[in-house]
A and B are shown apart, each in its own frame.
Chain A
Amino acid sequence: MKIPYQYSVRNLWNRKLTTVLTVSGMALVVFVFSAVLMLADGLKKTLVSTGSPDNALVLRRSSTSEVMSTIDRYQAGVIATQPEIALGEDGLPILAKELLVLITLNKRGTSKVANVTLRGVDANSWKLRPNVRLIIGRKFRKGANEIVVGKRIAERFEGCALGESIKFGQRRWLVVGIMDAGNTEFSSEVWGDVDQFMQAFRRPVYSGILFRLKSRELFTRVKKRLENDPRLTVIVKTETQYYKEQSELMERFIKIVGMVLTSIFSLGAVIGAMITMYSNVANRVVEIGTLRALGFGKTSVLTAFLLEALLLGLIGGLIGLTASSFLQTITVSTTNWKSFSEVAFRFTLTPRIALSGLAFAAIMGLAGGALPSIRAARLPIVEALHTWE
């Protein structure tokens, strides 16, 4: 049987100051670690949930985002005739020809500007994205210089509140409605009549064509036909896939920077844990000798000290996770490097991140405790008891 766990727990409790300091270091690292993962996950969740797997997006071949893509009216006509496109109640295909343009707007309360995505849409755009809800005001009228702005844009940019107006494309546009698309990128967009935007920006082409599939299984068929059509030079992706790819670059960057930071911090925390555990061993040499003399094996002593180190890590991990969970109340914004538009999102704590944080804390504790625990287990009994003469 092993040395009772109370031995490890009470030893930590008895040395409160060193325990608190070591646990604080661990907690800080786990906080940074989970914050980075929460940031990357929040971004991914925002971008991925922006798309629907029932929708297919057609872009110019080699375009990595809608901003780079152009589809002319003739090509749009060919795409609109595909039999895999679902039909609406009016018997017409549920298909939206959209234009994406980036403009810069002033952020509220600062002198800074940021890129904002303008999306020229038609009536089907609302049908294709049922998660986009008008929360205040009304939709824009076709042919009018009116816009509906995403909730996060309304909050964060000058002239974007209901009833205010902003100037772009040499016209002044009245904000007639605020839309909310939850935790998706549409909450960070400005929508208006696609034909008005094309005129205002003197663009003769669309950015992309979005349509609803009759069924998901038909995607491969329509993709193959459109991509092999000699009249078109396009690629076809599900909307979900498109937004997933949008998030990958930034997600990877956040993770790399975060992990480098976390690694440096964790090295400090591991050294802290190691110092604490070495001092715990040094202070308890006689105890270790006594336990070994009583018949507890090296493995029991090793386990008891490793348990102590593990507890240091896990307590730090729980505190770090608790602290990082409060980050979920914060909304952050950054530029999506693929579309160059401002995207706002929230830190998201998932069970996977919580488990990773705890596992990371446990590993740090064990890494810090390993050498001191081995030293404790290998102490010669007679030397530990100071009873040789």
Chain B
Amino acid sequence: MDEASAQGPINREEEKDDPLIIVKDLHKSYRRGAQKLTVLTGVNLSIPEAQYVVFIGPSGSGKTTLLNLIAGIDKPDKGKIIIAGVDISTLDESRLSKWRARHVGFIFQFYNLIPVLTAYENVELPLLLTHLSKKERKKHVLAALKVTGILDRAFHFPAQLSGGQQQRVAIARAIVTDPTIIVADEPTGDLDKDSAAQILDLLNYLNRELGKTIVMVTHDPRAAKRARKVYVLDKGILRDQYENDLSWT
């Protein structure tokens, strides 16, 4: 019996109508010299639209790799990743770049803002890959900065902003193109408690009020509690999944 089937009912696709993200029998390994490092083994899952899910697990469990594969910045060795009806594992690099620009918003642990560009210019970056005019881009950028509550810092450079403010700019950059999914890799990992809570509130707002589909990786139990659904990975295998009781929020 292989490991994927050994996972039993947990790894079966969720039986929901038209899931937005479908992951089928996903395998990924890396080569480090002569050594082959298996990171994911036969992962299956499906995520409906407007869902807020979190991948948790110990270091090396493969959660970030799974996030990268769903975001289309890495390619699986085997298996399918179907997002909004498109099997992104079959796209070549150029098409995958265009797909990411249109469908994925990224939030990183260390914000990954371009230091030489202002907050406004950072948020505008993904829009440069669209056909929007400068005037339309401006409208979108200001709206995204307003939603994330950082409009008053629009013309500050990242070095002039606090960690929490930088992450707000990064979130504005992630939502400015109205992407199909938002992927967040440890978005509160570099923030103090208060800033982290504010960022998590903002992500909840994006999911509940604006209907954004969010896929997040975290080590932070407080962050994991905010998601509607939690997937637990260990040694590259999806071990468990459960829904959070969000009545407290």
Q: Which of B14-22, B82-90, B113-121, B221-229 contacts A (4 or more CB under 8 A)?
A: B113-121
Which of B60, B71, B100, B128 is the one whose CB lies under 8 Å from A4?
A: B128
A388 & B126 in contact (Cβ 8 Å cutoff): no
A293 & B100 in contact (Cβ 8 Å cutoff): yes
In the complex, per-residue mask of A2-44: 1 if CB is within 8 Å of any chain B CB, else 0: 1110110011011000000000000000000000000000000
Q: Does A295 contact B (CB under 8 A)?
A: yes
Q: Does B185 contact A (CB under 8 A)?
A: yes
B117 & A7 in contact (Cβ 8 Å cutoff): yes
- Cα A290 to Cα B109 in complex, Å, equals 12
Q: Which residues of A contact B74 (CB under 8 A)?
A: 381-382, 388
Q: Which residues of B contact A387 (CB under 8 A)?
A: 64, 68, 108, 185
Q: A293-B106, A295-B102, A381-B74 are in contact. Are A10 and B112 (CB under 8 A)?
A: no
B68 & A6 in contact (Cβ 8 Å cutoff): no
B71 & A295 in contact (Cβ 8 Å cutoff): no
Q: Which residues of A contact B63 (CB under 8 A)?
A: 389
- Cα A2 to Cα B125 in complex, Å, equals 10
- Cα A389 to Cα B62 in complex, Å, equals 6
B129 & A296 in contact (Cβ 8 Å cutoff): yes
Q: Does B38 contact A (CB under 8 A)?
A: no
Q: Does A1 contact B (CB under 8 A)?
A: yes
Residue of B nearest to A1 (CB): B128
Q: Does B5 contact A (CB under 8 A)?
A: no
- Closest approach, in angstroms, between the C-beta of A384 and any C-beta of chain B? 9
Count of chain A residues near B, Cβ 8 A = 28
B112 & A286 in contact (Cβ 8 Å cutoff): yes
A4 & B68 in contact (Cβ 8 Å cutoff): no
Q: A6-B116, A387-B185 are in contact. Are A294 and B39 (CB under 8 A)?
A: no
- Closest approach, in angstroms, between the C-beta of A325 and any C-beta of chain B? 32
In the complex, per-residue mask of B54-66: 1 if CB is within 8 Å of any chain A CB, else 0: 0000011111110
Residue of A nearest to B173 (CB): A294
Q: Which residues of A contact B110 (CB under 8 A)?
A: 286
- B90-114 contacts to A (CB < 8 Å): 93-94, 97-98, 100-102, 106, 108, 110, 112, 114
- Cα A388 to Cα B68 in complex, Å, equals 8
- Cα A389 to Cα B60 in complex, Å, equals 5
A295 & B68 in contact (Cβ 8 Å cutoff): no
B121 & A381 in contact (Cβ 8 Å cutoff): no
- Closest approach, in angstroms, between the C-beta of B131 and any C-beta of chain A? 9
- Cα A10 to Cα B97 in complex, Å, equals 25
Q: Does A292 contact B (CB under 8 A)?
A: yes
Q: A385-B73, A388-B68, A389-B62 are in contact. Are A295 and B126 (CB under 8 A)?
A: yes
Residue of B nearest to A299 (CB): B94
Q: Which residues of A contact B71 (CB under 8 A)?
A: 293
- Cα A7 to Cα B106 in complex, Å, equals 20
Residue of B nearest to A287 (CB): B114
Q: Give B contacts to A, CB under 8 Å.
A: 30, 39, 59-65, 68, 71, 73-74, 93-94, 97-98, 100-102, 106, 108, 110, 112, 114-117, 121, 125-126, 128-129, 173, 185
12 residue pairs of the A-B complex, CB under 8 angstroms, read: A2-B128, A6-B117, A13-B116, A14-B116, A289-B112, A292-B73, A293-B73, A294-B173, A295-B129, A297-B97, A385-B108, A388-B64
